[in-house]
């Protein structure tokens, strides 16, 4: 599991560190406070060892596409000073730091330690790490790349049961058409996955990705897009269950207090620090400040009428 992340000079973050990371980590705060940048920093660290992710997309190209970038040069807060970007992750029980440096001209990545021991927990953590935002979760690349392994492992049975529990629609079977579309045999009539509502499509792919990310982390941006309140609560419960049973670490960015409350409620049977909320504060000089808030503190403040998204003082 990822224990901490330190960022130096990446995008709008000149310097900052997240420590005490938990099984589920919810990043909140105003626009421009660094939520997306943190997810991208974790993802690019994996890219320095594993060019492609588990859905067979090139990690760097995906990040460039998100930002309409031609190369790395715009990634550095300090690129005008020709200073490299440095991102350091601490992974696993030994809390070993894995450092990635982006060159000042933005054309190369280097990492230290120079190699990971094959099949070691940190090696597998970085290999399987997956970043999903709403556009990727609306794309059929998720099931096209993960379905065969999911089927062989029997994860499709969990997927059908969870989908039915969230949306109340019985799924009798899942199969691919000759045209390569995933057909959901859902009452009353079978439909292509992409013929379902946007919220259902996103949830289906998030659940599939979570089920196939055991021993690693799933980075979710806009995971709550298109979700109705009751469906959101059940989706949060399902993702908490998968995180618990399958050793998946979740990083979630959101502007929705409903989403925060849904996850805090779903995590209730677990330890107080099993889930943490990280209010983020990024000052004009690019210094990121944050501190993890355990479940009881977050619920207590929300019950008192506080808006966790505005708690910049807690971040400091």
- What pLDDT sits at residue 219? 98
Number of compact structural domains in the chain: 1
pTM for this predicted structure: 0.93
Q: Is residue 270 part of a domain?
A: yes
pLDDT at residue 81 greater than cutoff 60: no
Q: What is the 3-state secondary structure (H, E, C) of the chain?
A: CEEEEEEEEECCEEEEEECCCCCEEEEECCCCCCHHHHHHHHHHHHHHHCCECCCCCEHHHHHHHHHCCCCHHHHECCHHHCCCEEEEEEECCCCEEEEEEECCCCCCEEEECCCCCCCCHHHHHHHHCEEECHHHHCCCHHHHHHHHHHHHCCHHHHHHHHHHHHHCCCEEEEEECCCCCEEEEECCCCEEHHHCCHHHHHHHHHHHHHHCCCCCEEEEECCCCCCCHHHHHHHHHHHHHHHHHHCCEEEEECCCHHHHHHHHHHCCCCCHHHEEEEEEEECCCCEEEECCEEHHHHHHHHHCCCCHHHCHHHHC
Show the tokens assigned to 204: 């289906």
Give CA torsion, residues 199, 204, 209, 214, to 10 deg: 120
- What pLDDT sits at residue 73? 54
Q: Is residue 193 part of a domain?
A: no
Average pLDDT, the chain: 89
Total residues belonging to the chain: 316
More confident residue, 210 or 76: 210
User: From the centroid of its chain, how far is CA 231?
Assistant: 19
Q: Is residue 149 part of a domain?
A: no
Q: What is the pLDDT of residues 219-260, one digit of tens each?
A: 999 899 899 999 999 999 999 999 999 999 999 999 999 999
Which of 25-29, 109-113, 193-197 is predicted least confidently?
Answer: 109-113
Q: Is residue 68 part of a domain?
A: yes
Q: Is residue 196 part of a domain?
A: no
Note whether 45 and 87 are within 8 A (CB).
yes
Q: Is residue 7 part of a domain?
A: yes
- What pLDDT sits at residue 75? 61
CATH no. for residue 33? 3.40.50.300
Q: What is the pLDDT of residues 114-158, one digit of tens each?
A: 667 777 888 899 999 999 999 999 999 999 999 999 999 989 999
Q: Is residue 38 part of a domain?
A: yes
More confident residue, 270 or 98: 270
Give the pLDDT band of residue 66 (cuts 50, 70, 90): confident
Give the pLDDT band of residue 71 (cuts 50, 70, 90): low
**Mean pLDDT value of segment 49-64:** 91
* Domain that includes residue 104, residue range: 2-136+215-315
Rounded Cα–Cα distance for residues 254 and 225 (Å): 10
Q: Is residue 98 part of a domain?
A: yes
């Amino acid at each position: 599991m990822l224990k901490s992340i330190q960022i130096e000079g990446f995008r709008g973050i000149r310097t900052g560190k997240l420590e005490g990371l938990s099984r589920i980590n919810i990043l909140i705060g105003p626009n421009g406070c660094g939520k997306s940048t943190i997810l991208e920093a974790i993802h690019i660290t994996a890219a320095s060892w594993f060019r492609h992710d588990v859905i067979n997309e090139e990690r760097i190209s995906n990040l460039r596409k998100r930002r309409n970038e031609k190369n790395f040069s715009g990634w550095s807060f300090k690129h005008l000073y020709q200073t490299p970007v440095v991102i350091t992750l601490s992974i696993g029980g030994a809390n070993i730091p894995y450092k990635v440096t982006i060159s000042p001209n933005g054309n190369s990545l280097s990492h230290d330690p120079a190699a990971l021991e094959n099949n070691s927990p940190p090696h597998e953590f970085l290999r399987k790490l997956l970043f999903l935002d709403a556009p990727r979760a609306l794309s059929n690349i998720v099931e096209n790349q993960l379905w065969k392994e999911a089927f062989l492992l029997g994860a499709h049975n969990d997927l059908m049961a969870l989908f039915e529990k969230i949306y109340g629609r019985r799924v009798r079977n899942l199969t691919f058409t000759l045209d390569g579309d995933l057909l959901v045999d859902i009452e009353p009539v079978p439909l292509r996955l992409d013929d379902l509502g946007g919220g259902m499509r996103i949830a289906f792919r998030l659940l599939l990705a979570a089920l196939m990310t055991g021993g690693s982390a799933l980075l979710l941006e806009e995971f709550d897009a298109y979700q109705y309140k009751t469906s959101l609560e059940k989706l949060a419960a399902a993702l908490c269950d998968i995180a618990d049973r399958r050793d998946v670490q979740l990083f979630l960015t959101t502007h929705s207090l409903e989403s925060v409350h849904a996850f805090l409620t779903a995590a209730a049977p677990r330890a107080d620090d099993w889930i943490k909320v990280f209010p983020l504060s990024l000052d004009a000089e690019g210094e990121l400040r944050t501190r993890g808030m355990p479940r009881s503190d977050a619920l207590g403040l929300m019950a008192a009428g506080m808006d966790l998204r505005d708690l910049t003082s807690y971040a400091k």
